[in-house]
Amino acid sequence: MKEQTKEFLTKLAALMQEYEVEFEITESCHGYGGFSVDGLEIGVKNYIEEFDYWNTEYVELYGKNHNAKDVLELIEKETNK
């Protein structure tokens, strides 16, 4: 494994642990056992101090391929609701 790849994965794992994040690939089933990818669902645990309670918020990136631009667009879209 190249150093930059290892560094990225190490940082990603640390962020996932810090924010208790899960990634899930969502899919649809089509006739004759075929599947297609719908998107990437991201679940982030959030502590709601007012109620002393943990809740998981799920956001989804639709489609098969995702990059930083997609994540930034998702943030903008969800923030402007």
Q: With helix as H, strand as E and coil as C, how does 13-80 read?
A: HHHHHHHCEEEEEEEEEEHHHEEEEEEEEEEEEEEEHHHCEEEEEEEEEECCCCCHHHHHHHHHHHHC
Predicted pLDDT at 5: 85
Predicted pLDDT at 15: 94
| pLDDT at residue 11 greater than cutoff 80 | yes
Token reading at 7: 């560094």
Q: How far is residue 42's CA from residue 35's CA, in Å, rounded to a whole number? A: 20
Percentage of residues in the chain having pLDDT higher than 90:
28
Strand partners for 46: 55
Looking at residue 22, its amino acid is E
